[in-house]
Amino acid sequence: MSIRSIFTPRRIPPIGVEFSEDGLRLAQVASPGSDVIRQVAFVPFGPDGSVDVTELRKVLRGFRGRQAAIAPPRGDLTIRPARLPRLENQELREAARWEAAGLLELEADDVVAEPLVVSNGVDSDGLAEMLIVAGSVTTIESRLEPLLQAGLHPIGVEPAFVGAGRAFTMRSRRSDEQGRIRVVVDVADTESWIVVTRGDSIVFAKRSDVGGSMFDAELGAALGIDDSMARRTRRESDRRGLEPEVLAEVKTAVRRAAGPLGDEAGMAVRYVTVAARLGRPECLHLCGEAGGSPGLVETLSAAVPGIPVEQDELVVSRLAEACGPDATPLAWATAYGLSLRPVVDAGRQAA
């Protein structure tokens, strides 16, 4: 060991922890600023939806440090647009908390809120466009309790779409790339999020009711099978070849169900290009549990003509290397992005 290393605090990246539909997804990159994934793990929920603390402790032995950036279940957080003054950080959070308390009809003492500024300037009234991410303190604390019991130390709670968006901003960290506009469509089981980034910042985010469960319902109706069988069939199309006739049915079902998502993606592109005047996005990336569904690329390509709908080769390769051949790599984008959260002061942590 060098003398220098004795006096230099180790900076360890956080563990990204996502509450997905079926369990916890955990990911950690090799070092701060790295895009190489060091470790991933999946801890399934129990039959009652609980986290097995003992199993989580075992899994954490393969990770470094215990700081974690966490995305709670999607339904635990509410995201609302708002116009607020550009105050100092703590004052802005306090204003957002009171705004969220009114929106959610909760007691202010039980609300935690984080404002995301999505406009560069202010309007004539001195107000800036923001997204307020808010939730119940009681609910979020109950989610974090088993993670704390397992030894994790949360450094931030973020919506899943923030992690998904961050996963695709690695190429936009240099100063000469801060103007690049990208769209990320994160397709989960019950919903989707359309996120627009400028450089490494989020400038737009919108929820859609379209998700993988809608694809499955459409496919099940077409083939005369139940939704669970339809889900297995759709997921198998990501991992192995299907009979051409079945694959055609999957694509048709997905295109039919995903139509509204394509419309919303098109509106997002028009907003950032025309209304916000940020510039035209250079590409659209898909991710999420259902992001690789056949027919989805064609649907979104038709909705955003002239903008390539593509998989980011760097992100996909990193996820595929870490998750293995039997996994759905795009489903890990959120946990990956959470692990890329900037390290402010990691200090001396135990490995």
pLDDT at 3: 43
Helix 296-303 × helix 244-257 angle, to 10°:
40
Looking at residue 304, what is its pLDDT?
Answer: 96
Domain boundaries, the chain: 78-137, 174-311
Taking the C-alpha atoms of residue 189 and residue 148, their distance in angstroms, rounded to an integer, is: 27
Question: Is residue 99 a contact partner of residue 84, using CB atoms and an 8 Å limit?
Answer: yes
- Please give the pLDDT value at position 269: 94
pLDDT of residue 186: 96
Q: CA-to-CA distance for 75 and 335, rounded, in angstroms?
A: 17
> Do 174-311 and 78-137 fall under one CATH topology?
no
Are the C-beta atoms of residues 196 and 203 closer than 8 Å to each other?
yes
Domain 78-137 CATH assignment equals 1.10.10:
no
- The rounded distance, in Å, linking the Cα atoms of 135 and 111 is 6
132, 139, 198, 124: which is closest to 159 by C-alpha? 132
pLDDT in tens, the chain (351 residues): 344 444 444 589 999 999 999 999 999 999 988 889 999 999 999 999 999 999 999 999 999 999 999 999 998 988 888 888 888 778 888 888 888 887 777 788 888 888 887 766 777 778 888 888 888 999 999 999 999 999 999 998 999 999 999 998 876 555 666 678 999 999 999 999 999 998 888 888 889 999 999 999 999 999 999 999 999 999 887 666 678 888 999 999 999 999 999 999 999 999 888 877 888 999 999 999 999 999 999 999 999 999 999 877 778 888 888 887 667 888 999 999 999 998 765 444 433
- pTM for the whole structure: 0.86
Contacts 24+ apart (CB under 8 A), 225-229: none
Contacts of 25 (CB under 8 A, 6+ apart): 16, 17, 18, 40, 41, 42, 331, 332, 334, 335
| Helix H or strand E segment including 309 | strand 309-310
Superfamily of chain region 174-311: ATPase, nucleotide binding domain (3.30.420.40)
